[in-house]
Amino acid sequence: MKSFTNKEIAALEHLYKINLINSATGFKSANLVGSISNSGIENVSVFSSVVHFGSAPPLLGMVFRPTTVARNTYDNIKENQYYSLNHIHQDMMKEAHHTSAKYPFEVNEFDKTALEQEYKPDSKVPFVKGAPVQLLMKYANEYTIKENGTILLLGEIEKLYVQPQLIHNDGFIDLSKGNVVTINGLDGYVKTELIERLPYQRPKK
Protein backbone atom coordinates (compact mmCIF):
# COMPACT_ATOMS: atom_id res chain seq x y z
CA MET A 1 0.00 0.00 0.00
CA LYS A 2 1.25 3.48 -0.83
CA SER A 3 0.87 5.84 2.11
CA PHE A 4 0.57 9.62 2.48
CA THR A 5 0.96 11.50 5.76
CA ASN A 6 -1.01 14.67 6.41
CA LYS A 7 2.12 16.76 5.84
CA GLU A 8 2.92 14.93 2.61
CA ILE A 9 -0.61 15.54 1.35
CA ALA A 10 -0.33 19.26 2.11
CA ALA A 11 2.89 19.45 0.08
CA LEU A 12 1.52 17.70 -3.02
CA GLU A 13 1.03 19.51 -6.33
CA HIS A 14 -2.43 21.12 -6.24
CA LEU A 15 -4.21 19.13 -8.96
CA TYR A 16 -2.70 15.84 -7.80
CA LYS A 17 -3.80 16.61 -4.25
CA ILE A 18 -7.42 17.44 -5.05
CA ASN A 19 -7.72 14.39 -7.33
CA LEU A 20 -6.27 12.16 -4.63
CA ILE A 21 -8.45 13.40 -1.76
CA ASN A 22 -11.64 13.63 -3.81
CA SER A 23 -11.15 10.03 -4.94
CA ALA A 24 -10.30 8.73 -1.46
CA THR A 25 -13.86 9.25 -0.19
CA GLY A 26 -15.25 6.54 -2.47
CA PHE A 27 -18.02 6.80 -5.05
CA LYS A 28 -20.28 9.85 -4.73
CA SER A 29 -23.73 10.77 -5.97
CA ALA A 30 -23.99 12.63 -9.27
CA ASN A 31 -26.70 15.28 -9.37
CA LEU A 32 -27.59 18.29 -11.46
CA VAL A 33 -28.92 21.14 -9.36
CA GLY A 34 -31.49 23.29 -11.13
CA SER A 35 -32.16 26.79 -9.82
CA ILE A 36 -33.35 30.19 -10.97
CA SER A 37 -32.70 33.76 -9.84
CA ASN A 38 -35.44 36.20 -8.93
CA SER A 39 -34.66 37.97 -12.21
CA GLY A 40 -35.45 34.77 -14.14
CA ILE A 41 -31.93 33.56 -15.04
CA GLU A 42 -31.79 29.75 -14.92
CA ASN A 43 -28.81 27.81 -13.65
CA VAL A 44 -27.87 24.14 -13.79
CA SER A 45 -24.74 22.76 -12.14
CA VAL A 46 -23.28 19.35 -11.34
CA PHE A 47 -22.81 18.44 -7.66
CA SER A 48 -21.23 15.35 -6.12
CA SER A 49 -21.84 16.22 -2.46
CA VAL A 50 -25.53 15.41 -1.97
CA VAL A 51 -25.99 13.38 1.24
CA HIS A 52 -29.03 11.88 3.01
CA PHE A 53 -29.67 13.46 6.42
CA GLY A 54 -32.90 11.76 7.43
CA SER A 55 -36.29 10.56 6.23
CA ALA A 56 -38.66 12.20 8.73
CA PRO A 57 -38.55 14.95 7.65
CA PRO A 58 -36.87 13.99 4.36
CA LEU A 59 -33.67 16.05 4.44
CA LEU A 60 -30.75 16.13 2.01
CA GLY A 61 -27.58 18.14 2.39
CA MET A 62 -24.98 19.39 -0.05
CA VAL A 63 -21.73 21.24 0.38
CA PHE A 64 -20.82 24.59 -1.15
CA ARG A 65 -17.32 25.99 -1.35
CA PRO A 66 -16.68 29.30 0.47
CA THR A 67 -18.68 32.22 -0.92
CA THR A 68 -15.61 34.43 -1.26
CA VAL A 69 -16.34 34.25 -5.01
CA ALA A 70 -19.67 34.09 -6.84
CA ARG A 71 -21.64 30.87 -6.26
CA ASN A 72 -24.58 31.15 -8.64
CA THR A 73 -26.44 28.06 -7.41
CA TYR A 74 -26.08 29.06 -3.77
CA ASP A 75 -27.20 32.63 -4.47
CA ASN A 76 -30.27 31.43 -6.38
CA ILE A 77 -31.30 29.06 -3.59
CA LYS A 78 -30.94 31.79 -0.98
CA GLU A 79 -32.99 34.17 -3.14
CA ASN A 80 -36.07 32.03 -3.75
CA GLN A 81 -35.62 29.06 -1.35
CA TYR A 82 -36.33 26.37 -3.96
CA TYR A 83 -34.18 24.19 -6.25
CA SER A 84 -34.27 20.82 -8.00
CA LEU A 85 -32.02 17.78 -7.76
CA ASN A 86 -31.77 15.61 -10.88
CA HIS A 87 -29.93 12.30 -11.11
CA ILE A 88 -27.58 12.09 -14.07
CA HIS A 89 -28.45 9.50 -16.71
CA GLN A 90 -25.50 7.94 -18.54
CA ASP A 91 -26.54 9.55 -21.83
CA MET A 92 -26.34 13.08 -20.37
CA MET A 93 -23.01 12.56 -18.59
CA LYS A 94 -20.77 14.74 -20.81
CA GLU A 95 -23.27 17.57 -21.00
CA ALA A 96 -23.76 17.39 -17.24
CA HIS A 97 -20.02 17.57 -16.63
CA HIS A 98 -19.75 20.75 -18.70
CA THR A 99 -21.95 22.54 -16.16
CA SER A 100 -18.93 22.53 -13.82
CA ALA A 101 -17.47 25.30 -16.02
CA LYS A 102 -17.57 28.73 -14.37
CA TYR A 103 -19.95 30.93 -16.33
CA PRO A 104 -20.95 34.48 -15.31
CA PHE A 105 -24.18 34.89 -13.37
CA GLU A 106 -26.08 36.22 -16.37
CA VAL A 107 -25.37 33.11 -18.50
CA ASN A 108 -27.96 30.33 -18.57
CA GLU A 109 -26.03 27.02 -18.45
CA PHE A 110 -28.89 25.21 -20.18
CA ASP A 111 -28.05 27.33 -23.25
CA LYS A 112 -24.43 26.12 -23.15
CA THR A 113 -25.30 22.41 -23.13
CA ALA A 114 -27.74 20.03 -24.78
CA LEU A 115 -29.53 19.61 -21.44
CA GLU A 116 -33.20 20.60 -21.55
CA GLN A 117 -35.09 22.27 -18.76
CA GLU A 118 -38.63 21.36 -17.82
CA TYR A 119 -41.06 22.84 -15.33
CA LYS A 120 -43.48 20.87 -13.18
CA PRO A 121 -46.96 22.15 -12.34
CA ASP A 122 -46.83 24.75 -9.54
CA SER A 123 -43.00 24.73 -9.56
CA LYS A 124 -40.96 27.81 -10.44
CA VAL A 125 -37.56 26.11 -10.66
CA PRO A 126 -36.21 24.17 -13.65
CA PHE A 127 -35.77 20.40 -13.63
CA VAL A 128 -33.55 18.50 -16.07
CA LYS A 129 -35.63 16.71 -18.67
CA GLY A 130 -34.89 12.99 -18.91
CA ALA A 131 -33.39 12.62 -15.42
CA PRO A 132 -34.63 9.26 -14.02
CA VAL A 133 -35.09 10.74 -10.53
CA GLN A 134 -36.03 14.37 -9.87
CA LEU A 135 -36.58 16.10 -6.53
CA LEU A 136 -38.11 19.45 -5.72
CA MET A 137 -36.20 20.83 -2.75
CA LYS A 138 -36.87 23.66 -0.31
CA TYR A 139 -34.12 25.40 1.63
CA ALA A 140 -34.20 24.39 5.30
CA ASN A 141 -30.99 25.65 6.93
CA GLU A 142 -27.26 26.01 6.50
CA TYR A 143 -24.16 25.56 8.62
CA THR A 144 -20.73 27.06 8.07
CA ILE A 145 -17.88 24.59 8.52
CA LYS A 146 -15.38 26.71 10.43
CA GLU A 147 -12.38 24.53 9.57
CA ASN A 148 -12.42 25.49 5.86
CA GLY A 149 -15.27 27.97 5.33
CA THR A 150 -17.47 25.59 3.31
CA ILE A 151 -21.24 25.65 3.75
CA LEU A 152 -23.45 22.65 4.45
CA LEU A 153 -26.88 23.50 3.06
CA LEU A 154 -29.85 21.39 4.12
CA GLY A 155 -32.97 21.09 2.01
CA GLU A 156 -36.27 19.30 2.54
CA ILE A 157 -37.83 17.19 -0.20
CA GLU A 158 -41.08 18.85 -1.25
CA LYS A 159 -41.84 16.45 -4.08
CA LEU A 160 -40.17 13.35 -5.54
CA TYR A 161 -40.51 12.24 -9.16
CA VAL A 162 -39.28 8.74 -10.11
CA GLN A 163 -39.62 6.71 -13.31
CA PRO A 164 -42.13 4.03 -12.20
CA GLN A 165 -40.14 1.05 -13.52
CA LEU A 166 -37.33 1.87 -11.06
CA ILE A 167 -39.42 1.48 -7.89
CA HIS A 168 -39.59 -1.93 -6.18
CA ASN A 169 -42.66 -3.00 -4.23
CA ASP A 170 -40.98 -2.03 -0.95
CA GLY A 171 -40.10 1.50 -2.16
CA PHE A 172 -36.48 0.77 -3.11
CA ILE A 173 -35.36 2.85 -6.12
CA ASP A 174 -33.13 0.78 -8.41
CA LEU A 175 -30.81 3.46 -9.76
CA SER A 176 -28.76 0.99 -11.81
CA LYS A 177 -31.88 0.10 -13.80
CA GLY A 178 -32.23 3.81 -14.58
CA ASN A 179 -28.63 4.03 -15.90
CA VAL A 180 -27.80 6.58 -13.21
CA VAL A 181 -24.07 7.31 -13.02
CA THR A 182 -21.98 8.02 -9.97
CA ILE A 183 -18.76 10.05 -9.60
CA ASN A 184 -15.28 8.84 -8.71
CA GLY A 185 -13.20 11.83 -7.65
CA LEU A 186 -13.77 15.04 -9.59
CA ASP A 187 -14.20 13.87 -13.17
CA GLY A 188 -14.57 10.07 -13.24
CA TYR A 189 -18.10 8.96 -14.12
CA VAL A 190 -19.00 5.37 -13.31
CA LYS A 191 -21.87 3.16 -14.42
CA THR A 192 -23.31 1.16 -11.54
CA GLU A 193 -24.78 -2.32 -11.32
CA LEU A 194 -26.92 -3.66 -8.50
CA ILE A 195 -25.23 -6.82 -7.22
CA GLU A 196 -27.65 -7.88 -4.49
CA ARG A 197 -29.93 -6.48 -1.84
CA LEU A 198 -29.07 -7.89 1.58
CA PRO A 199 -31.63 -8.34 4.38
CA TYR A 200 -31.87 -6.19 7.52
CA GLN A 201 -29.21 -7.44 9.95
CA ARG A 202 -29.72 -8.34 13.60
CA PRO A 203 -27.08 -9.34 16.17
CA LYS A 204 -26.09 -13.01 16.02
CA LYS A 205 -27.20 -15.13 18.97
In-domain check, residue 49: yes
205 occurs within a structural domain: no
69 occurs within a structural domain: yes
Please write the tens of the pLDDT for every residue from 156-189: 999 999 999 999 999 999 999 999 999 999 999 9
Q: Average pLDDT in the 130-136 region?
A: 97
Does some domain include residue 5?
no
Asked whether the beta carbons of 158 and 84 are under 8 A apart, the reply is no
pLDDT tens-digit map of 96-125: 999 998 888 888 899 999 999 999 998 899
- 140 belongs to a structural domain: yes
Residue 119 belongs to some domain of the structure: yes
Domain tally, the chain: 1
Look at residue 66 and tell me if it is in a domain.
Answer: yes
pLDDT in tens, 53-92: 999 999 999 999 887 666 889 999 999 999 999 999 999 9
CATH number for 49? 2.30.110.10
134-157 pLDDT per residue, tens: 999 999 999 999 999 999 999 999
Range of the structural domain that residue 54 is part of: 26-191
Q: Is position 35 within any domain?
A: yes
